[in-house]
Chains A and B, each alone.
Chain A
Amino acid sequence: MPLSIILGAGKLVSMTSLFVPAFFALFLPFCIITYALVPKKLKKYFLLVASYGFFWFVSGTLVIYLAATTLSMHYFGIWLDYTQGKMKSAMSQAEKEIKKVVKKRYITRQRYIVLMAVSLNIGVLLLLKYSKFFTVNINDLLAFMKVPLVIEIPKYLLPIGISFFTLQSLSYIFDVYRGVTKADENLFRLALFLSFFPIIVEGPICRYNQIAEELWDAKPITYRNLTLGLQRFLFGMMKKIVIADRLNPFVKVIFKDYANYEGGVIAFAAVCYTVQLYMDFSGSMDAVLGVSQIFGITVPENFKRPFFSKSISEFWKRWHITLGMWFRDYVFYPITTSGKMKKLTASARKKIGNHYGPLVAGSIALFSVWICNGLWHGSAWNFVFFGMYHFALILCGNLISPVVKSFNHRFKINPQWFFYRLLQMVRTSVLVVIGELFFRAEGLKNGLQMFRKMITDFSFSSLNTDMLVKCGVDYLDFVIAGAILIIIFIISVLNEKGIEVRETLAKKNIFLRWGVYYILILIIVIFGAYGIGYAPVDPLYAQF
């Protein structure tokens, strides 16, 4: 019998979700207890073994990709560090006149090393995740040109979280190149940074400087971290199990059989999907941050109440924050601050002014960001469309902002006025829902047809109890989801006003604190969408 079968490799694929019993009732308690029991010196090694064990359970032998990424990045990092050391030494010995030449020579060498690291890791990602997409499109093109050639469509198994750990490993190598962090000579520390089990499935995409040292420090578990971490985990579980998974059957049916429903029902399904995605992804992030907190690790927040955004640009600063920051730091600013773009900005500013001048270079960089963002989410045209849709909205927002400002000034409209801001929030949310419709649609063609139905056939005539039953839900599902959403909305408003609900609660007496924990558990147990009639739903972002 192969060893992989004996050890259960890839047998617990369902553990992609932190909310399945295999994780929260077995794996997590085992990790917490063992971590607490092992001596301080061994805690970090235990976390590393547990992280690789987690990956092994989910993806089996595909763990080789994670190990290869770690080894390659460790090697490239050390090579970069060595080259930087040589550059410093050569610079200190060089005559003043040739210092620039020496520096340029070594910078070029470093760029080649970074290029190799990027090519290798992005190459693997392209091969595993995108080769099918490219082959299908090349075959379509060949057929269109009547070339009698069909390329065989490759099939590869994707290791869990490859899009996340690839970006995380690239940020490490970029930061070493930029001098933000030093190359890590300790292979195990780097391996733990790239594999830490709570973040491996859906992120957030952490930077080396944010968590690597804290992980390696492996502090003992404290009562405060344990209870606050569990509280956050339960809150995330409530979002995912009670709201997201409850809406899933309805969303699934309407998006699959949209041709049988009117535009109004499709629009309602698009709203439900947006809520589902938000509750699913932000709930999973709550769980990730909660589990990390139990082990004393502060992982960066990935959401900041995105539906309070007044523009699409602001929305992306509050939704999947770490992905947005990754693209900003490693794509947007490097493009806009490259020599040619700076010259373009300088000359454009002189010709078309302070606002539109930088927009020329900015839009080229924005386009690059959004094509990458769309494709990062998936290898299909609807994801490319999703990226371009948001690119167009952000660009339009920038183009019309001077007009809006002068309009407001002329008609004495105060942009801080509550109803004005509310209108902006509603407008942003509507635009986001339309984007998510294309994001969820089964292909771009279906997405466009669904959107057309929303415009030309807007009615709710088929929306009744029988129809809901056919979709596998009833009105009570929406009542429960709505009631919990109201609680989440109230907490969000308080947080938005600067009242830290978790901190406030932590200061209350033990009866109130544990009362809240029990209420959360009861809500999940009583209202959770699990058991008969509900298929387990993998985290939506795990597929990316």
Chain B
Amino acid sequence: MEKLIEILEDIQPDVDYKTCEDLIDGHYLDSLSIISLISEIEEEFDITVPAVEIIPDNFNSAKKIMAMINRLREE
């Protein structure tokens, strides 16, 4: 989780990722941030994020992103 928050802060600073629950709906992360984030987490966590996973529900909070990463790791 800490590594993920580090990645997020690198991509888009000035957001409290520990508490924010509307990263997409609140427009904190735009489509370019998402492209960066996917590229980073794929490299860091050795996973592949298919386009179908890019829905607000998977990216609205750090917890949800981590849950998606864990799920993709298991698959």
Chain A interface (Cβ < 8 Å from any Cβ of B): 178-180, 313-314, 328-329, 332-334, 336-337, 342, 345-346, 349, 354-355, 357-359, 361-362, 398
Contact present for A358 and B32 (CB under 8 Å)? yes
Query: In chain B, residues 28-51, which have Cβ atoms closer than 8 Å to a Cβ of chain A?
Result: 30-33, 35-36, 38-39, 42-43, 49-51
A274 to B9 alpha-carbon distance, docked (Å): 40
A355 to B29 alpha-carbon distance, docked (Å): 12
Interface residue from A349, A354, A357, A362 paired with B31 (Cβ < 8 Å): A362
Residues of B within 8 A of A332 (CB): 31
A345 to B34 alpha-carbon distance, docked (Å): 11
Residues of A within 8 A of B10 (CB): 354
A505 to B14 alpha-carbon distance, docked (Å): 40
Residues of A within 8 A of B32 (CB): 355, 358-359, 362, 398
**Given A346-B43, A354-B10, A354-B11, are A362 and B52 also a contact pair (CB < 8 Å)?**
no
Residues of A within 8 A of B51 (CB): 178, 329, 333-334, 337
Contact present for B35 and A345 (CB under 8 Å)? yes
Residues of B within 8 A of A336 (CB): 31, 35
Q: Shortest beta-carbon distance, A200 to chain B, in Å?
A: 27
Residues of B within 8 A of A179 (CB): 52
Among all A-B residue pairs, the 10 with the closest Cβ atoms: A358-B35, A178-B52, A333-B51, A358-B32, A345-B39, A334-B51, A358-B36, A337-B51, A346-B39, A333-B54
Residues of B within 8 A of A362 (CB): 31-32, 35
Interface residue from B27, B36, B38, B54 paired with A357 (Cβ < 8 Å): B36
Q: Shortest beta-carbon distance, A257 to chain B, in Å?
A: 42
For residue A178, which residue of chain B has the nearest CB? B52
Contact present for B54 and A337 (CB under 8 Å)? yes
Q: Shortest beta-carbon distance, B16 to chain A, in Å?
A: 17
For residue B37, which residue of chain A has the nearest CB? A358
Main secondary structure of the interface of A (DSSP, over half): helix
Residues of A within 8 A of B54 (CB): 329, 333, 337
The interface size of chain B toward A, counting residues with CB under 8 Å, comes to 18
A345 to B37 alpha-carbon distance, docked (Å): 10
Contact present for B35 and A361 (CB under 8 Å)? yes
Q: Shortest beta-carbon distance, B35 to chain A, in Å?
A: 4
6 sample A-B contacts, Cβ–Cβ < 8 Å, listed by A number:
A328-B31, A337-B38, A342-B38, A342-B39, A354-B11, A361-B35
Q: Shortest beta-carbon distance, B28 to chain A, in Å?
A: 14
A333 to B41 alpha-carbon distance, docked (Å): 16
Q: Shortest beta-carbon distance, A346 to chain B, in Å?
A: 5
Contact present for A337 and B36 (CB under 8 Å)? no
A322 to B30 alpha-carbon distance, docked (Å): 18
Q: Shortest beta-carbon distance, A85 to chain B, in Å?
A: 18
Q: Shortest beta-carbon distance, A199 to chain B, in Å?
A: 22
Residues of A within 8 A of B35 (CB): 336-337, 345, 358, 361-362
Main secondary structure of the interface of B (DSSP, over half): helix
Residues of A within 8 A of B33 (CB): 358
A314 to B32 alpha-carbon distance, docked (Å): 14
A309 to B46 alpha-carbon distance, docked (Å): 38
A337 to B10 alpha-carbon distance, docked (Å): 20
Contact present for A349 and B36 (CB under 8 Å)? yes
Contact present for B49 and A345 (CB under 8 Å)? no
Residue with the greatest number of chain A CB neighbours at <10 A, chosen from B27, B42, B51, B54: B51
For residue B49, which residue of chain A has the nearest CB? A337
Interface residue from B36, B42, B43, B49 paired with A354 (Cβ < 8 Å): B36
Q: A354-B10, A355-B32 are known; give 19 further A-B pairs, CB within 8 A.
A: A178-B50, A178-B51, A314-B27, A328-B31, A337-B49, A342-B38, A342-B39, A342-B42, A345-B39, A346-B43, A349-B36, A354-B11, A358-B32, A358-B33, A358-B35, A358-B36, A359-B32, A362-B31, A398-B32
Interface residue from B27, B39, B49, B52 paired with A358 (Cβ < 8 Å): B39
A419 to B56 alpha-carbon distance, docked (Å): 31
Residues of A within 8 A of B52 (CB): 178-180
A356 to B65 alpha-carbon distance, docked (Å): 23
Q: Shortest beta-carbon distance, A111 to chain B, in Å?
A: 13
For residue A174, which residue of chain B has the nearest CB? B52
Residues of B within 8 A of A349 (CB): 36, 39
Interface residue from A178, A345, A398 paired with B36 (Cβ < 8 Å): A345
Residue with the greatest number of chain A CB neighbours at <10 A, chosen from B30, B43, B52: B52
A354 to B39 alpha-carbon distance, docked (Å): 11
A240 to B11 alpha-carbon distance, docked (Å): 44
Interface string of B1-37 (1 = CB under 8 A from A): 0000000001100000000000000010011110110
For residue B11, which residue of chain A has the nearest CB? A354
A337 to B39 alpha-carbon distance, docked (Å): 8
For residue A177, which residue of chain B has the nearest CB? B52
